[in-house]
Amino acid sequence: MPDERRAISLTGIKPTGDPHLGNYIGAIAPALELAADGAHESLYFIADYHGLISTRDPDELRRSSRSVAATWLAAGLDPTRTLFYRQSDVPEIMELTWVFTCLTAKGLMNRAHAYKAARDRNAEAGQTDLDAGINTGLYMYPVLMAVDILIMNADVVPVGRDQIQHVEYAADLAGTYNHLYGDRGFTFPLPKPVTSADSTSAVLPGTDGRKMSKSYGNDLPLFASTAALKKIVRRIPTDSVPVEDPKDPDSSVVFQIYSHVAPADEVAATAERLRAGGMGWGTMKDLLHEAMETRFRPMADRYDALMEPGSELDTILDEGGARARERAVDVLTQVRRAVGISR
């Protein structure tokens, strides 16, 4: 009997600026953990088509795409064991996106989190037209993301909890296709989301207590210089509880971030120190800075080397793109035949 197909794991990050701690905790780390277990065939991609939704500077889009790719490699991605590629090196994604656009109910798109959030912001700002400033790329974002997943026949998608809806949409659209065309010889797997074992990773707070996000300007860059990172950490707001008084670590943004980057035994010991009193927020911030430096400074050195002109980064992406396109061509050929575009 032929060997059973290994489940395929796929994930990627939209290149909108340099990656931050939230990206690492919510997507990169769990994806790399999944790859390390050997049970999945792992695929990683740079979602540069998605970047067009909000980025109008072509030089910045190219730089951000390289930055995200360098981050994955610096974080431990082994391109000899995984498939690593740029989304834009697989043009078949665009054709399959149109096929699925024609299968997607508008009402489903109306319920997408990103679109609803954009309309809510307009409502809060007093806009009469709730769609003001919202481009169709943002509106159709979930379809393109679904195709990213489906064109590679992905079975699981490591995501933060706030991204689960996108994987659910991919499964819904795959089900629609399978219902309409599944009797013609090709069906898509129904992908499932996989979240980090750390149930709080998706709500990692930023420096202001809200969810960490570049759009809020409250993120901790992964590869900032030592001095720049220390300055950001020092600006995190804290309460005015005196040094000698007990403090609640669970209500502290600084401690919550620290708990994601420091070893578990050090996190437990620090929590006890805070509860006992005698430890100030300045010391807590120093511990967070030291933990960030210890965990990410080696990655930062590797990242800097990959970002240099002439590094192996582009060769790795080019080779991965060629391999990814072979897969996509095979899927698209079968879909075209099934829907009646070609014989």
Residue 310 φ then ψ, to 5°: 85, 5
The pLDDT value given to residue 343: 64
- Tell me which residue of 124, 210, 186, 133 sits closest to 335, measured CA to CA: 186
pLDDT tier at 26 (50, 70, 90 boundaries)? confident
Beta bridge partners of 45: 12, 85
Assign 19 to helix, strand or coil.
coil
- Does the reported pTM lie above 0.75? yes
The pLDDT value given to residue 50: 94
Decide if 250 contacts 52 (C-beta within 8 A).
no
Per-residue pLDDT for 239 more than 80? yes
H-assigned helices in the chain: 21-23, 29-36, 48-51, 58-75, 92-101, 106-110, 113-124, 136-150, 164-181, 226-234, 253-261, 264-276, 281-307, 313-339
pLDDT tier at 16 (50, 70, 90 boundaries)? confident
Ordered by where they begin, the domains of the chain are 7-204+312-339 (3.40.50.620), 223-303 (1.10.240.10)
| Span of 193-207, 269-283, 287-301 with lowest mean pLDDT | 193-207
Indicate the length of the chain as a whole number: 343
Per-residue pLDDT for 202 more than 60? no
What secondary structure does DSSP assign to 62-93, as a single string? HHHHHHHHHHHHHHT--TTTSEEEEGGG-THH
Strand 40-46 with 192-194, pairing: unpaired
Per-residue pLDDT for 316 more than 60? yes
Beta bridge partners of 85: 45
CA distance 185 to 193: 26
pLDDT tier at 198 (50, 70, 90 boundaries)? very low
Per-residue pLDDT for 79 more than 70? yes
The pLDDT value given to residue 31: 75
pLDDT tens, position by position, 35-76: 777 788 999 999 999 999 999 999 999 999 999 999 999 999
The pLDDT value given to residue 196: 61
- CA 267, 273, 276, 280 torsion: positive or negative? negative
Dig out the tokens for 240 from the structure: 């005015």
For 30, 152, 161, the CA distances from 156, given in Å and listed in that order, are 12, 11, 14
The pLDDT value given to residue 3: 52
Average pLDDT over residues 197-218: 77
The pLDDT value given to residue 28: 82
Q: Which residues contact 6 (CB under 8 A, 6 or more apart)?
A: 39, 40, 41
- 68-72, 76-80, 144-148: range with highest mean pLDDT: 144-148
**More confidently predicted of 333 and 38:** 333
pLDDT tier at 6 (50, 70, 90 boundaries)? confident
**More confidently predicted of 143 and 12:** 143
CA distance 304 to 27: 21
Residue given tokens 């309460």 in the structure block = 239
- Tell me which residue of 153, 188, 184 sits closest to 340, measured CA to CA: 184
Q: Which residues contact 250 (CB under 8 A, 6 or more apart)?
A: 256
CA distance 329 to 316: 20
Per-residue pLDDT for 1 more than 50? no
